[in-house]
Amino acid sequence: MNNLVIAFSSVAPLTFYMILGYILRRIEKFDDSVIANFNKIIFKVMLPSTILMSVYRSDLSKTLNPALILYGMGSVIAIILVAGAVVCAFCKDNRKRGAMIQASYRSNFLLLGAPIVENLYGHEAVAVPLLLSAFIIPLYNMSAVIILEMFRGNHKGINPLEMAKGIAKNPMIIGAVIGFVLKLFPPLPAIAEKTVADLAFSTTPVALIVLGASFSFSGAVSEIRELAFCVISRLVAAPALVIAGAYLFGFRRVELASIMGMAIAPCAVASFAMAQQMDSDGELAGNALVFTTFFSSFTMFLWVFALKSFGIL
């Protein structure tokens, strides 16, 4: 029963925020432009602030574990290769291929994965998944650019210069770099640090409310087979492979929970925008985001409960 309570308390607040957003969208009649503007603020200001403060405040001697980072990055690459082989074997539409592979490996680690670790082990423990995300998110972005370029509808080849520019201009990568740079200088003034920290603290609830307000269940029937693959691979198959590997490599407690948070989270919010912008199947990417987020309310709870029950976490 204790494990059931722990699992529920780690996931329930995240689900509540999304439900609240969904209800507010219907009550307040938010249109798509309102949601889009909120998403811009979250993506360009709030998420970078979260990563910046995590890096700036972290004690790298305690939280920087090269083995954990290497495993996290290696597991992402492994999922990309496995998903790519499976998708190319049964799907012949390049635009769908790119969206499906991206959905399989690219999780909403920062918004949904890291808070689970915090709920399980306390606020101090969240530095580990947030620091891990500073390495994983750039890998997500670089991989997405390469994959979507390879499988875009009107294939034009990969432009390394444009790819490098896109990666360098990513707000979350900029936030991580600024955090590392600030650690080399004297401490920030207290008022500046508190301002950025308060902004970072509000990121998760605001982002999840906006994500809930973005839900739309239309347009999924025509791509039900591809959508089912995205949901199962993102929420079941990929987590099973990644968590099992992490356990066999000897990761435990906060480190294992950080890998779990990365693996069990639904599709990344940014995956939809990137698919649209790079001539992939934007509708499939959007439906994958919506349905993996919806079902993750149940699957994340089940993963946490199962791992707690077996004494792995």
pLDDT one-digit tens code per residue, 97-153: 999 999 999 998 877 888 888 888 887 788 888 888 878 888 887 888 788 888 876
pLDDT of residue 61: 67
pLDDT of residue 173: 77
C-alpha to C-alpha distance for 156 and 11, rounded to whole angstroms: 42
Contact 276, 87 (CB under 8 A): no
State the average pLDDT for the chain. 84
What are the pLDDT digits (tens) for 211-225?
778 776 665 666 789
Check the CA dihedral 184-187-192-194 and report its sign. Answer: positive
Mean pLDDT value across residues 240-259: 94
List the one residue out of 280, 279, 239 whose CA is nearest residue 259.
239
Q: What is the pTM of this model?
A: 0.77
pLDDT of residue 19: 86
Mean pLDDT value across residues 253-270: 90
pLDDT of residue 105: 95
What are the pLDDT digits (tens) for 42-84?
878 887 888 788 778 776 666 678 999 999 999 999 999 999 9
pLDDT of residue 156: 54
Report how far apart, in Å, the C-alpha atoms of 19 and of each of 35, 163, 231, 263, 265 are.
15, 36, 20, 22, 17
